[in-house]
Structure 1
Amino acid sequence: MLNKECLKIAFYGKGGIGKSTIASNLSAAFATLGMKVLHIGCDPKGDSTRTLMGYKIPTLLNILEKDTPIYEEDFLFKGYKNVHCIEAGGPKPGMGCAGRGIITVIEELTDFKIFDKQWDVIIYDVLGDVVCGGFSTPIREKLIDAVYIVTSSEFMSIYAANNIMKSINTFSSMNGALLGGIIHNCRSSNSNIEIVQKFSKDCNTSILDTIPYSKNLGVSELKAKTVVENLPNSPVSYSFIQLAKKIINNKDYHIPNSLDDNLMEKLSESILKEITKE
């Protein structure tokens, strides 16, 4: 496993859907499996790696603003099981383009030859639903092999997932990244997998796995830890280990069929029927 070419993947999804929780726990899971992991947080909040490090690390953009000599150790940190962590960061709200910040960070990491190191896995945790060209940088610049979309059964989460698929369609035609599949994140005990299954079928893709709802995830995050570290023997921790193995062995990288507005409206109607039926 460790002798294979580096696996480069990105996680996208609606803001607040639990994408960073899944990305950071997967980084911990990959490391638990003995892999050398680089985790890059691409969110202005700079909190993707907090549970891997136990605290918020300085962001590369903030370091660049100081206009002083920069060294690798200023922005590359070792967290849980030696997961290497970088936070891109971004401008203050209303003060600039966060997407442009990601482009700048990628350029800096390239100059520092960070991507040339011997990684087994590189993970990008990317903000939002790719409405900005900057946030599509990992896809557009061919920095990754595949995208994994995190969604719940809520319509706006699925709507964002569909937008992401549109971007994947655009860049796949330019030899960019393909879709690796959907990760269904149960944000509550009422999450409806049938809705996500219908959406994935309509889009010619599949649900790679489901992360079950667990209060242990929130408890672990309050301790600034992944659940993989905090409760390694828990069922939800086991789910992340199993998902990591599925991602390692996944060969089904493909171009999805994003839905047009009419099909999304029909999906909305079917979701309404599903959640209101007795």
Structure 2
Amino acid sequence: MSALAESFLEMLAAERGAAANTRAAYERDLRDYEAFLAARGADARTAQDRDVSAYLSHLAAGGAKPSTAARRLSALRQFHHFLHAEGVRADDPTGAVDAPKRGRPLPKILSEEDVDRLLAAASAASGAEGARLSCLLELLYATGLRVSELVTLPLAAVRRDEPFLMVKGKGGRERLTPLSEPARAALADYRDARTAFLPNGRESRYLFPSRSKQGHLTRQRFGQLLKELALQAGLDPKKVSPHVLRHAFASHLLAHGADLRAVQKMLGHADISTTQIYTHVLDERLKRLVAEKHPLAKTR
């Protein structure tokens, strides 16, 4: 990877507070882009709009979805804007390139009945593992946290007898997220079992400590635990993930009359347009309900 790309990644971390996963995604995108340019005898300093367009065509020919190509173009635009702002280039070759057209897919969600089955299966699990799993699930469904936010929660984020969590989200932004009574009860039960997960018996700053290199329960391990729980609950494990539960949190709140702005704050969305996708989910569910259940919708 070029020194220019490395400087851009350093800027993302230092000025925008980009998370490690975000920086890793940008790095993969830029490596692929620069390799493509090199094969055409170009680089980030000399690339023209035709090179950027050719790269997008290359992605499409390789079977990339329009959403993937659009995300790559977004990364390239930020990269070239950075080069222009730093005086490395006098122009931005991405300015005249149109983003691939894409439909906005609706998020996958679970029904309230499905979530109840998951919660029941988790509460039926015994021992320290069961207490942790039940706490993780209750917290996730009660707060809609991103999985990375959940597994890295510091112990200090949860104050005894306080009905909320203090969460540090993307870009270092902090927010308060209320806790439901079932989540607080599961949290209290888990606190008694937490010592079983402390590495070598030493205290940890994480709410969910583990013996992993990171010192906390990993996203991958939690995902595996959810898949296993889905099987126990009689659900398709392919349809269950931490992110799907985040979607369920938002959709179920809105279905019960929650304010969109309040849901935006709890999810940690910087832009309300991101949260509005859940209103489309409700619209689609209402359309299906009318089509399937309304007597006048049936052919006579």
TM-score tier by shorter-chain length is under 0.3
Structure number with the bigger relative contact order (C-alpha 8 A, sep ≥ 6) is 1
Max radius of gyration: which structure? 2
The structure where helix makes up a greater share of residues is 2
Which has the larger share of strand?
1
